[in-house]
Amino acid sequence: MRQPVTVAGARLPAKPILVPVLIAINVAVFALTAVQAGSIPGNSASALFTDFALWPILVAGGQWWRLITAGFLHIGLIHLAMNMIALWVIGRDLELLLGRVRFGAAYLLSLLGGSTAVFLLGDELQPVAGASGAVYGLMGGIAIAALRLKVSLRPVLVVIALNIAASVVIPGISLLGHIGGLVVGVIATAALVYAPRERQVLIQAGALAALLVVLVAMVVTRDLQFGNLVCFGSGEETRCGRLGG
């Protein structure tokens, strides 16, 4: 007897696994930064935060890992709690619908999409951190899933609208990262749930790979605009300069 699958082609798992794992990783990283800084509200003063947060100027200087690692750092307990609650509420259903591998790919692409938007258009000297880009990608993804399944979009759209409003009103929150993650999450999830049944996995993989290539191309293009910038050291000892300059 053929096992039923979702519209994304995933077999229904008994329960979500990636969502609690992602939450555990984010909480553990936050705890480590708080211990290093000796302060929960001032955790961003830790060495770990300084070395892995998204500073566009440092990414341009060769520290590209910050585009991903920044998505596992948070500034203060409220920032962490807001993102983890949203991840828990939205992520569980989306993981069940997409399947673990597809969900993980959509999550990471959304995270990279948020970071790419900040790198392209943000203040090059302003540090950014948080899982918000990935979480907003899940918000966009759940909206697309609701559209595909023909269920009411109103609750999802209200949540997205409220969170975007909070991004504008609350100081220190990166609206660029949120919008970048949201757009990429919408595209990634649409590719997963609207792929035709014939060669579904191949089409899904190709679409996600193409999206990754586009994001990487954007990052490389922006990096070239900075010129021959190189950064050395870490934390307050970091120094940047141009080769031949």
Amino acid at 141: G
Kindly name the residue from 74, 79, 110, 178 that is annotated as catalytic: 178
Q: Is 79 a catalytic residue?
A: no
Rounded to whole angstroms, how far apart are CA atoms 215 and 213? 5
Q: Tokens at residue 158, please?
A: 């209200």
Cβ neighbours of residue 8 closer than 8 Å, sequence gap 6 or more: 97, 98, 99, 102, 192, 193, 195, 204
Cβ neighbours of residue 220 closer than 8 Å, sequence gap 6 or more: none
Q: Is 132 a catalytic residue?
A: yes
Rounded to whole angstroms, how far apart are CA atoms 214 and 70? 20
Amino acid at 176: L
Amino acid at 39: S
Kindly name the residue from 115, 132, 174, 234 that is annotated as catalytic: 132
Q: Tokens at residue 37, please?
A: 């800084």
Cβ neighbours of residue 211 closer than 8 Å, sequence gap 6 or more: 109, 184, 187, 188, 191
Dihedral, 238, 117, 73, 84 alpha carbons, nearest 10: 170
The residues that are catalytic are 132, 178
